[in-house]
Structures are given as structure tokens and as C-alpha cells.
A and B are shown apart, each in its own frame.
Chain A
Amino acid sequence: MPNRVVVTGCGAVTPLGLTVDETWKNMINGVSGIDYISMFDTDNFQVKLAAEVKNFDPNSYMEPMTARYSDRFTQFAIAAGKQAVGDAQLSIDGSNTYDIGVIVGTGIGGIESLSSQMDVLARRGPSRVSPYTIPMMIPDNCTGRLSIELGIRGVNMSLISACASGTDAIGMAYQMIRHGELKMAIAGGTDASITPISVAGFQQAGALSRSNEPGNACRPFDARRNGFIMGEGAAVIVVESLESALERGAPIIAEIVGYGATSDAFHITKPMETSEAAAKAIELALAGLNRDEIGYISAHGTSTPLNDVSETRVIKKALGEQAYDIPVSSVKSMVGHMLGAAGGLGAIVCCKVISEGILPPTINYEYPDPECDLDYVPNIARKKGVAIAVSNAFGFGGHNSVLAIRKYNGK
């Protein structure tokens, strides 16, 4: 019989705060973390806004030398990972080090490090390129560093599926623990790519909002939505077999009860017109569960014209008439699109919804789109007891990844 799998700790660094508690408090108050880009000069850019992580000091979480030779996406992962381990009251030592894995997804990896070393290459030649270039830019640097920081010797890998990376990393951890290959994993997502090259790339793909109004630029499911807002940060959880959690008396936040992942095999950036594959991912995540218990969906909800109408269709295709009774909200309206970290945050949002009984709102929802006709929890958080929450994540390349998370009721 497969192991049951629970969440015992959460950690996050987001545009709404440097911890889960601060982020959650701002989310349920409908605070926006979006503002003008401060990390580089946007004079030549059509895109002016992003959701940056503010006041992050990596030295609070790691030695200055580690911070200096780690890209920002790795620094975020270390901070969120250490918070999650603390929250889970987990001690890592020789007795359990091989039972624990580190699986953290990223969509982009160390692009700031790559960009700055490309400048060095162009200006001063190959002999002055930093020997740390490769370790700092490779996407798995976040897990390599995190495993060193935490002393973890089980599986160590990053997982890459664009904006579904965080969800797939947790899904992978869930599967490995379920099948007894690991007892625990530090899993989630991280990204830090508010850099000229990535903003330019997303801008040229037509994916980003060109709005000049930080307060209401990101408006998922609203008729006037016009593109996503780049976010950044990390969201990491401790995933653990129920047996292990009970044995060590760990705080159990919620249970992971399903994971579904499919591929559109359709177009490299557009969602599949029939919505079939993404709906299938939701169905896979819900297999064997009582669908009447579903009380909330944390939407991918990017605020692009295409995603939000497609996701609405996907939810209706998977759940039929029941879709109209289930509240769906997008925290991206507040934190922007944290890319690889988005799925990690989606899982944490589901855990908080279940443990706190409050749904975070979709802010900036003003003008209904007839094609987006579900209950998006507009503008104001709502009290609601939820037994099962679903987290959607989709990504360039046709990735559709879904987690189902249930209240743990002690049996």
C-alpha cells in the first residue's frame, strides 16, 4: 500500500513578504506587491512593472561567502527552504540525512549571473569570466546549495517545466515518498529573473502587461486583463510520509492526496484549444477523491488574455456543472507571476486556505468577461471551510500540473 504524504512545514520569500505569515497576511488583505521595476533601468522597455521581492538580505540566511557566490534564485531557495525546515521542526543529522531529498523547481535558473558574465566576456575576454559562472547559473544550483546548507544527502535535483516547475517538484516529491523511495523532501520552486534579458524576452513574446498603473495592472479573469506581471521569489514546503510525521510528532498542516501532470502536445506557448490535456491533469489529481469535498481552486490565473479564458474552460471541462460552485482565485493578482516559484506558492496557498478557512481574493477584478464566468473571489477575501483545495499550474511547452491537497483530520 502506498504511503500517505503530508505537508509539515512551509517557507516563502515573495513580493508580499519575506515569510509565509507576512505573505499570507498581505494576501488576505488584498495587498498588491506590484510596482515600477527598480532592479534595472526600463527606459527602453515597453514593460515598466514587476513584483519584486523587497528588502531581502541573503546574509540573514547564509554566510556572506555563500551569498556572494549564489545567484538570487538560489538565495531565495535557501531562505524559503530553511524557513520550511524550521516550521516543520525538523532536525537533520546523520540518522536521517539519506532519507530526505531536495527537489526544487525553477523555470529560468541563474540568468542574472549568466547575463553579467556575458558582459564580462564581451568586455574583458574569457580569462576574466568568473569560474563560478556555471555553478551560479545552472538551474540545479538551488538544490545543490540547499543540500549543503541543510546537510541533506538524499536525492538532490532541480526540476524544470517552465511555470509549472514548483508544482511538478512537489508532485515528484509526493510520488517518491508515496512509493517509499524517500521519507521526506524539501520541495517547491524558485525564480529570480526580473532582469533585462528575461523581461525583454517575455515582452517580445507579448506575454507581459505594458500597463503603467502598478495598482491595477494585474487583473486575472477580468475583461481588461492585458498580460502577466513578472514576479520573483521562492516557495518551499516540507513533504513527508504520514508515518514519519507521526513518529516525530511533527505539526501536520495538510495532506497531499493527488498529483496530475499532462502535456498539451499542441503549441510551444499557446494553451490547447480543446482544453483536453489540462482538464485531464485535474482529473488525474482528483482520481479516487470525493469531488464533493473540493472547496477551492488556486488558479494559475496569470492575467494574460489567453490563459485565463483557457483555464476557465479547463476547470469546466474537468468538473462540469460543479465548476460554478467552487471558488477559484489567483494570487498572481498580488504577487505577479513568480514563474517556477508560482506552483510552490500555489501549494502553500492551498495549505493556508485549508488550515485558516479563508480564501485569498483575486484583486483588480472589475469588468466581467463573459468567457470567464466562474466565482473568482473578487477583490475581498472570503471565509470558507475547505476540505480539498486544488492548485493549478501551466507552463510554456504545454505543461499542465495539478496538485490536490486535503485537510488532515487525524485519520
Chain B
Amino acid sequence: MNVHEAIKNAICKIAPGIDESKIVPKADLTKDLAIDSLARVELAMALEDSCNLTLSDEELGEVVTVGDIIALLESNLGGSNA
């Protein structure tokens, strides 16, 4: 699974009913996708499960947009799994 798809699946899992077309790199998680601070932990869990990695709280705290998640996952995966 590529990183974009993994992120889309994780977001749909934690925010059922969301308009998938809004999940684009520049989308702001809070403002555009209504993923609040509570739902972010759920999102981290879903990403960890689907990508088989562990994300640190510091890294997650810096995430603002979907693009930031893509960058974070790509750096964690080292491109090997993309």
C-alpha cells in the first residue's frame, strides 16, 4: 500500500462519513477535516497499525496538514515501503 492510500484509509477509519475528496496534501487536519486533538491519537494508532511503525508524540505534535503526515511517514519508512 502506498503512503497516500494508507493515510486516506486511516482517516476514513477514524472519521467515518468524511468526504474522501477532501483528503488532499494541503488539507488542514483540524480546519478542513474536523479531526480534533482527541481524534489525532486515534489517527496515530490507525497509521501505526496500517504501516507497522511507531510514531513519537513529538513528531505527531508537529503535524498540521495531510502533507505533513505524508512527509512524516515517508521519513519513518525511509522510502523502502512506499
Contacts and interface: CB of A to CB of B under 8 A. Distances in A.
A129 B17 CA distance: 23
B15 interface: yes
A127 interface: yes
Nearest to B45: A128
B78 interface: no
A64 B38 contact: no
A36 B39 CA distance: 35
A65 B18 CA distance: 8
A172 interface: no
A128 B16 contact: no
B15 A130 contact: no
A120 B46 CA distance: 12
Q: How large is the interface on A (under 10, 10 to 19, 20 to 34, 35 or more residues)?
A: 10 to 19
A68 B41 contact: no
Interface in B3-45: 14-18, 34, 37-39, 41-42, 44-45
A155 interface: no
A131 B57 CA distance: 14
A118 to B, nearest CB: 15
Given A127-B57, A131-B37, A132-B38, A68 B44 contact: no
Contacts of B39: 131
Interface of A: 63-65, 67-68, 120, 124, 127-132
Interface of B: 14-18, 34, 37-39, 41-42, 44-45, 48, 57
30 contacts: A63-B17, A64-B16, A64-B17, A65-B15, A65-B16, A65-B17, A65-B18, A65-B34, A67-B16, A68-B15, A68-B16, A120-B45, A124-B45, A127-B41, A127-B57, A128-B41, A128-B44, A128-B45, A128-B48, A129-B41, A130-B38, A130-B41, A130-B42, A130-B45, A131-B37, A131-B38, A131-B39, A131-B41, A131-B42, A132-B42
